[in-house]
Structure 1
Amino acid sequence: MSETSVESATQDRVLRLVVEHGPVSAAELARLLTLTPAGVRRHIAALERDERIVVHEPSGPGQRRRGRPARYYVATDAGRSGLSHAYSDLATHALQFIGDVAGPDAVDHFANQRVSGLEERYAPVVEAAGEDVADRARALAGALTQDGYAATVRSVGPRGLAVQLCQGNCPVLAVAESYHQLCDAETRAFSRLLGVHVQRLATLAGGEHVCTTHIPTTVPTGRPSTTPSPHGDETEGI
């Protein structure tokens, strides 16, 4: 492999890690790649020049600190589109046709049918992880990553009372931007697979840099509830 090919392959690895773990620092990327910080910064600079990653600007009170804090990076739309995507304009036009001819309920039915196939494939993997919700979430993240979703799990809150499932890539993003029913059906499928109520906090289709699903690890599933979705609609928990 030529030196240029090696550089390109390493840049792709850096980009994929930014998609999976972002916001992420150069130091963390160096640790994950077992490279020197200087080497990682060279690839980061190249990805920034190509506008495939940007520095993450935190918002809200208390997010900015004095001094020179570490920079954290997230992928841009262009960076994510450089990864493998399993969709085309045809899918968007097909859903538009379905909605025009058969109405919005038909689009909902399509979205539910799509995730039912994923749910059927993921169920054995999740069940094999046991009863612990966090372990089940990690198993789900692994299955999603194999399908191109670049998924990770992070602990949040005190005493590990919840985790967040983060998806840095969406193979159907171009379609989901117009049809949020795909996101809502996916959220319901996650709830069924994990056996707890989950809440979608952010989506790539809604303009965020990652899809984030909040998963309580100690609350058993009960009667269906309704929680706000990041699109301004309501998402029914299962």
Structure 2
Amino acid sequence: MNIPASTVVPQVLESRTRDRVLQAIGERGPVTAAALADELGLTVPAVRRHLDNLAESGLIDDRESAPSGAGSRGRGRPARAYVLSEGGHQALESDYDHLATEALRFLSAEAGDDAVRRFAEARVGQLEQRYAVELAAAGTDTDARVQALVAALTRDGFAASARPVGDLKGTGGSGVTGLSGIQLCQGHCPVQHAAREFPQFCDAETDAFSRLLGVHVQRLATLAHGDHVCTTFVPTKAEPSTERSSR
């Protein structure tokens, strides 16, 4: 029995739009339906239909969105913001990640954790060499270099984004106090499962970011540890040094 094209084409387009919504949540989450509609050029009802389908499939989770300012939503119900669930991350991942994890377990058992560290550094080092050329073209400005890094990471499947953050004084246990800078986010990690068991990959990547950006960056959250996004703080305003403060 042949299915008419008038039925197949809308189904294909619907599936592609659903994938676009899922990818956008991976890149921008937590993100509201209104923000997704604006970014993807869709209506809010259309986005909500896809969000309902993705939620029913277990690919996304929702949470209350933090207000952008006091009274910004009046007395209305807080907007819902969406992030990828564990299943959503897996849907964007390749089965090769599972094979890589098995290979790393074998390497660790045969040659020890130091061999895994060297492998992680070598793998990240290849990316670093390519990115270094692109960041060099961006000049010495930290913000410009971060934007170049975001573009390179996104091209390689990390769904990266960046936004400025203000004075982080009093942020509790993050270890970042009295600093302003840029929050570099990665909504997807191609080796998330491997990094969950072998944090050497996260460590090597963080060290590479520091070298590429020319500042000491700090990893605040990772997908491998169960967070919805990898977050790296890039300082653009350094604290006074101990030597200066002692004068």
Name the TM-score class by shorter chain. 0.7 to 0.9
Q: What does 1:1-238 align with in structure 2 at a 5 Å threshold?
A: 2-56=9-63, 67-85=76-94, 87-158=96-167, 161-219=180-238
Per the TM alignment, residue 204 of structure 1 is displaced from its structure 2 partner at its CA by 0.4
CA contact (8 A) 1:25 1:70 kept: yes
Distance change >3 Å, CA 216–CA 157, structure 1 → 2: same
State the alpha-carbon separation in 2 of the partners of residues 27 and 111 from structure 1: 39
State the alpha-carbon separation in 1 of the partners of residues 20 and 199 from structure 2: 30
CA contact (8 A) 1:48 1:54 kept: yes
State the number of aligned residues. Answer: 217
Amino acid of the structure 1 residue aligned with 2:214 = G
User: 122-131 vs 153-162, which deviates more?
Assistant: 153-162
SS of the equivalent of 1:56 reads: strand
Amino acid of the structure 2 residue aligned with 1:119 = E
Give the fraction of aligned pairs with identical amino acids, expressed as a percent: 53
TM-score (norm 2): 0.82
Q: CA RMSD in A?
A: 2.4
Distance change >3 Å, CA 84–CA 98, structure 1 → 2: closer
Q: Which residue of structure 2 aligns with residue 225 of structure 1?
A: none
State the 4+ residue runs in structure 1 displaced beyond 2 angstroms. 56-59, 84-90, 158-161
Per the TM alignment, residue 166 of structure 1 is displaced from its structure 2 partner at its CA by 0.5
Per the TM alignment, residue 67 of structure 1 is displaced from its structure 2 partner at its CA by 4.3
Per the TM alignment, residue 158 of structure 1 is displaced from its structure 2 partner at its CA by 4.6
CA contact (8 A) 1:19 1:75 kept: yes
CA contact (8 A) 1:155 1:162 kept: yes
SS of the equivalent of 2:231 reads: strand
CA contact (8 A) 1:167 1:210 kept: yes
Q: Which residue of structure 2 aligns with residue 232 of structure 1?
A: none
State the alpha-carbon separation in 1 of the partners of residues 180 and 21 from structure 2: 31
State the alpha-carbon separation in 1 of the partners of residues 182 and 95 from structure 2: 28
Amino acid of the structure 2 residue aligned with 1:198 = V
Bigger proportion of residues as helix: 2
CA contact (8 A) 1:166 1:213 kept: yes
Per the TM alignment, residue 113 of structure 1 is displaced from its structure 2 partner at its CA by 0.7
Instruction: Encode CA deviations 1:99-120: one digit per residue, 9 max, x unaligned.
Output: 2222221111111111100101
State the alpha-carbon separation in 2 of the partners of residues 29 and 57 from structure 1: 15
In structure 2, runs of 5+ residues without a counterpart are 1-7, 67-72, 169-178, 242-247
State the alpha-carbon separation in 2 of the partners of residues 183 and 85 from structure 1: 18
In structure 1, runs of 5+ residues without a counterpart are 60-64, 223-238
CA contact (8 A) 1:84 1:148 kept: no
